[in-house]
Amino acid sequence: MTATTHTHPFVKMHGLGNDFAIFDARKSGLKMTPERARALSDRRRGIGCDQLIVMRASTTSDVFMEIWNADGSRVGACGNATRCVGKLLLDETGSSKVAIETDAGQLSAVLDGSNISVNMGPAVTGWQKIPLATETDTAAAEYELGPLRAPGCVNMGNPHAVFFVEEAEDVDLAHWGPKIEADAFFPERVNVSVATIRNGVIRQRVWERGAGITDACGSAACASVVAATRRGLADRKAVVELDGGRLGVEWLADGTVQMTGPTTFVYAGEVTL
């Protein structure tokens, strides 16, 4: 018996080059699996993306956002994807603010001029909640590998280790990123950033857990501002310059982090699954 197939529409979007294939499954009931996510994310044999996003119906928010990394792993948060989904929902509803439910909690998105601003929720700095394997001061964790040491560790719906270095461009992130991501010190793996601060701007490069080096990572930008503030290296409001462009980030007095930047629609398509 031949298996039943269905055609599923999607849109391709990116935030500063961090790209997504976004499926609207609020009515279609699209089933996603790690194997299917890997196949669709493949840049030669599939659509090609850093993360695959499935929008599902929510009883508490405008939408539930399911996030799959290119390697087929499921994650709780993605800042740039939240801005892209927020843009779709704001255009669809005509509302001034939308709520987006994720595995990491409820987020909100608003239009800010030509940009989308997202509240990414609270920055979590307790070592058990990041999580780390052993107790340490998360402002400058007792961890070292190769040329990288004493990261600021933050959970922004997903775990981050931010290493402050003299020159971010000089770090071989393709070599050290996967080693640190998979280190036993980080039980749930970790997003790895190297950051240099000049004239109040945080220059950051990111190795994303499950995706590799990406042009931008919104949650990593949020983590870098929190980590830099805790070390006295930056103010609570800063510009973060990633490979794909700049994001505005502010660690608010209530402990949540606001992140603002552009979104780009690339094309619409459909796949048969």
Kindly give the residue spans of alpha helices, DSSP state H, lying in 182-254. 218-230
Instruction: Please state, in angstroms and as integers, the Cα–Cα distance from residue 136 to each residue in 72, 132, 160, following that order.
Output: 31, 8, 15
Rounded Cα–Cα distance for residues 21 and 9 (Å): 10
CA 161 to chain centre: 13
Active-site residue set: 78, 217
Rounded Cα–Cα distance for residues 205 and 32 (Å): 30
Structure tokens given for 167: 């020159």
**Cis amide linkage into residue 131, ω under 30° from 0:** yes
Mapped onto helix, strand or coil, the DSSP state of residue 250 is: strand
